[in-house]
A = this chain, B = another copy of it.
């Protein structure tokens, strides 16, 4: 298949482009490079031993540019990663998030519809669940995002579900990621956050490699075994594989589908630190800081729907996640810029 990947130079995007190339698909990558580097694509192509069909530096807000990309490449499906993703920044600049994420997706959907391309795998997030009391999270749980970033994901899900309900030609997969970590085992591609990392493992990895002094642990008085927050971490290579499985499935079964992508088990902040110390052989200093507003105590997936319907499960364990994340970090201490 010929597949357009928006945000294909980013963290999850680059790993998915690699998996698509390895599976023999033709891949057009579209990215505005606002928060990523084209270096990731060069390395993806080296790893795959194949080239992508094209790279297009286009912003989703450029409707004419999008139309042009669709007209020239005629993709059969879209995997849509492009978007802003920092929760804290979304509280400060909500209009940026609604514009880039929601209005940007509206533009993408028009370009798809007008170019007879109506299959889309969308990069959603477990953030849409908010902070419910009952675990594990199934796809039937109501959406109740607690911040503007999460609300943009929720709004885009609504829009895609409404579109699929209005026209049976649409095939939509809404993938709710839990906490993607790790890197390709080669250590050549991985997560390259700009500024202070928002997520735990990149932060831990930067402490391990000496870029940051210590890990800030936000809250040690949660009702969890060690008092720190518990999350469901998923290896990015497993996650990328989930996109291919979802794409296969919606190609045979249109309409709207929602799948949690997680392992189904949670690790606390201190357990992740411990595992990363073991994988890296480095000591990770940490300091307890106050809880962050809006953080849940515990969050983990019920991934049984993806197993039943996609034949997919996330098999790489925490030690592998840490090993691969560390391998990327130590070989690229300053990310792609190094």
Binding site for B on A (CB under 8 A): 90-95, 98-99, 102-103, 106, 109-110, 113, 148, 151, 155, 158-159, 162-163, 165-166
Chain B residues, Cβ within 8 Å of A110: 95, 99
Report A83 CB to chain B, min CB distance, Å: 14
Report A267 CB to chain B, min CB distance, Å: 31
Nearest to A160 among chain B residues (CB) is: B94
Contact in complex: B103, A166 (CB < 8 Å): no
Contact in complex: A109, B91 (CB < 8 Å): no
Chain B residues, Cβ within 8 Å of A155: 102, 155, 158
Measured in the bound complex, the distance between the Cα atoms of B91 and A319 in whole Å is 48
Q: Would you give 25 A-B contacts (Cβ < 8 Å), ordered by A?
A: A91-B162, A91-B165, A91-B166, A92-B166, A93-B166, A94-B163, A94-B165, A94-B166, A95-B106, A95-B109, A95-B163, A98-B106, A98-B159, A98-B162, A99-B106, A102-B102, A102-B103, A102-B106, A102-B155, A103-B103, A148-B158, A148-B162, A151-B158, A151-B162, A155-B155
Measured in the bound complex, the distance between the Cα atoms of B185 and A211 in whole Å is 72
Measured in the bound complex, the distance between the Cα atoms of B90 and A312 in whole Å is 35
Measured in the bound complex, the distance between the Cα atoms of B106 and A71 in whole Å is 27
In this complex, which of A95, A106, A151 has the most chain B Cβ atoms within 10 angstroms of its Cβ? A95
Chain B residues, Cβ within 8 Å of A98: 102, 106, 159, 162
Chain B residues, Cβ within 8 Å of A165: 91, 94
Measured in the bound complex, the distance between the Cα atoms of B90 and A158 in whole Å is 13
Measured in the bound complex, the distance between the Cα atoms of B165 and A159 in whole Å is 24
Nearest to A162 among chain B residues (CB) is: B94
Measured in the bound complex, the distance between the Cα atoms of B102 and A148 in whole Å is 15
Known contacts A102-B102, A103-B102, A103-B106: A113-B91 contact under CB 8 Å? no
Chain B residues, Cβ within 8 Å of A91: 162, 165-166
Measured in the bound complex, the distance between the Cα atoms of B155 and A165 in whole Å is 18
Chain B residues, Cβ within 8 Å of A90: 162
Chain B residues, Cβ within 8 Å of A92: 166
Measured in the bound complex, the distance between the Cα atoms of B99 and A162 in whole Å is 13
Measured in the bound complex, the distance between the Cα atoms of B106 and A94 in whole Å is 10
Chain B residues, Cβ within 8 Å of A159: 94-95, 98, 151
Chain B residues, Cβ within 8 Å of A99: 106, 110
Measured in the bound complex, the distance between the Cα atoms of B247 and A230 in whole Å is 45
Measured in the bound complex, the distance between the Cα atoms of B158 and A90 in whole Å is 13
In this complex, which of A90, A91, A106, A113 has the most chain B Cβ atoms within 10 angstroms of its Cβ? A106
Chain B residues, Cβ within 8 Å of A166: 91-94, 148
Report A193 CB to chain B, min CB distance, Å: 22
Report A103 CB to chain B, min CB distance, Å: 4
Report A185 CB to chain B, min CB distance, Å: 40
